[in-house]
Chains A and B, each alone.
Chain A
Amino acid sequence: MDAFQQFLKTFFDWQAMGEVIPSMLTVGLPNTLILAISSGILGSLLGLVLAIMGISRNPIPRWIARIYTDILRGLPAILVIVIIGIGLGPILRQTMGITNPFPLGIFALTLMAAAYMGEIFRSGIQSVDKGQLEASRALGFSYGSAMLLVVIPQGIRRVLPALVNQLIHLIKDSSLIYMLGLLASQREIYRVGNDAAANSGNMSPLIAAGLLYLCMTIPLTHLVNFIDKRMREGRAPKIEPDEAAAVVGKGA
């Protein structure tokens, strides 16, 4: 067998791929999606709380958010997953009788996602023109209501592309959960591919896993670009020249 044949056999063995694809789609894909989406949602919520703490006028919540963010963003993902997933396992088992490491995986991913998303939300909220807060307050809204009703919703809208980006990161980082010793039914895409590769001594199942990741991440990347462009350029504004027609009332 020449080198090229060897290469094809190692990476593009259709039979080996065909064998792994069913379990990859029925077991791996749902688990990857559960991990990414649930930590994405929980991470957004916690991130929003961190962002609100981060822009607080009170320095204590501001510092808590700062320290949390610096730590969780500064550590390698694998370290956090192992420390939380394996380290907290026995404690959870003793206190709550939970023996399943899967939720701990979601928890670890959530904690990290929140740190990134918190920074995204904060910068979005802070980029809202300060005239918005001023106009709301001039109407009689309290600082809190003005932030909640007017400023924060605009800040969130603005960072939608960055949030989808985080979802892409989560889809990829969810593969790190393989460290936690999950049940066969809890394996995500990478672990399914890795097990099959180990059994057959062939890389093709991992190539299949890679293709499946790309099927999710590439469209999302383009979605990010699309939203980004749409927001930057906006829908073509249509302004009608009815200014003169609308001159008002008696005193005009």
Chain B
Amino acid sequence: MSDFNSGSLTASNIHLAFGNNKVLRGIDLHVPQGTTASVIGPSGSGKSTLLRVMNRLIEPDQGDIQLDGRSVLQDNPDELRRRIGMVFQQFNLFPHKTVVDNVSLALHKIKKLPKDQARAKAMEQLELVGLAHKADARPGNLSGGQQQRVAIARALAMEPEVMFFDEATSALDPELVKGVLALMTDLAKGGMTMVVVTHEMGFSRNVSDTVTFMDAGVVVETGSPDQLFSEPKTERLKGFLSDVL
């Protein structure tokens, strides 16, 4: 698993409010091509919202988002989202479709591949996540870990330049977490540009190139894993780490 057509991602001075609730208050995040940035922080700090703003599921009130150094705020948001894969805590597979159809749907309908080619490509992706043998099953008959791997295959099939993970392992039973983290590690090592919101401090520390600690809608600290985990500068990060570690 290597040689993704990945790109760099930069968010600058992102502001977003839901009504009076200022959820993001001037976020900067730079993710160089082929690197993995993990985002950690307490519940409600705005991590999920940041991901959704960066692929424009939610439009920012202010700020800029650049893919490969070019602002994407003027682009068609549907086209932008085709370039960014996203994996959710709750998998969000399509329960009425088979596993392979989950992966091939967008290939056929968006990338306009003929049905047989879309299916062949979907099978390749399922092969990569070790689930080709489940192609004709329904997502509901898979374990959580298998479902999440299908969700990753579904996102990868679109050949995204960047992958977002929003607590991809939080809903999994502990024994199923490993398989999904292994797959994410493969992707990171294979050169995918990734933004990983996670509570898995082991992954954050060992796999990511940079760690960003958010609290109350601002970036409190950002740097290398060693910097943040071994020498946290702020009281807020120290407090957070002592809570989660």
Chain A contact residues, CB within 8 Å of chain B: 129, 131-132, 134-142, 145, 149-150, 153-154, 157, 234, 237-240, 243-244, 246-252
Which residue of A137, A145, A239, A248 contacts B143 across the interface (Cβ within 8 Å)? A239
Q: Is B22 in the interface zone, CB < 8 Å from A?
A: no
CB-CB under 8 A from A142, the residues of chain B are 78
Chain B contact residues, CB within 8 Å of chain A: 1, 55, 57, 78-79, 81-82, 84-86, 88, 90, 92-96, 105-106, 109-110, 128-131, 140-143, 145-146, 149, 151, 154-155, 158, 175-176, 178-179, 182-183, 185-186, 188-190
> Can you add 10 more A-B contacts, CB < 8 Å, to A131-B88, A249-B186, A252-B183?
A131-B92, A134-B57, A135-B88, A139-B158, A149-B109, A243-B145, A246-B146, A247-B178, A249-B183, A251-B1
**Residue contact B149 to A139, C-beta cutoff 8 Å:** no
**Residue contact B140 to A237, C-beta cutoff 8 Å:** yes
Shortest Cβ gap from A209 to chain B (Å): 40
**Residue contact B146 to A243, C-beta cutoff 8 Å:** yes
CB-CB under 8 A from A251, the residues of chain B are 1, 182, 185-186, 188-190
CB-CB under 8 A from B141, the residues of chain A are 237-239
> Are A138 and B57 CB-contacts (below 8 A) given A150-B94, A251-B186?
yes
**Residue contact A243 to B143, C-beta cutoff 8 Å:** yes
Closest to B52 in A: A134
**Residue contact A248 to B182, C-beta cutoff 8 Å:** yes
**Residue contact A248 to B149, C-beta cutoff 8 Å:** yes
Complex: A141 Cα to B81 Cα, angstroms: 8
**Residue contact A149 to B105, C-beta cutoff 8 Å:** yes
Complex: A244 Cα to B146 Cα, angstroms: 11
**Residue contact B109 to A141, C-beta cutoff 8 Å:** yes
Which residue of B86, B128, B146, B185 contacts A138 across the interface (Cβ within 8 Å)? B86
CB-CB under 8 A from B128, the residues of chain A are 248-249
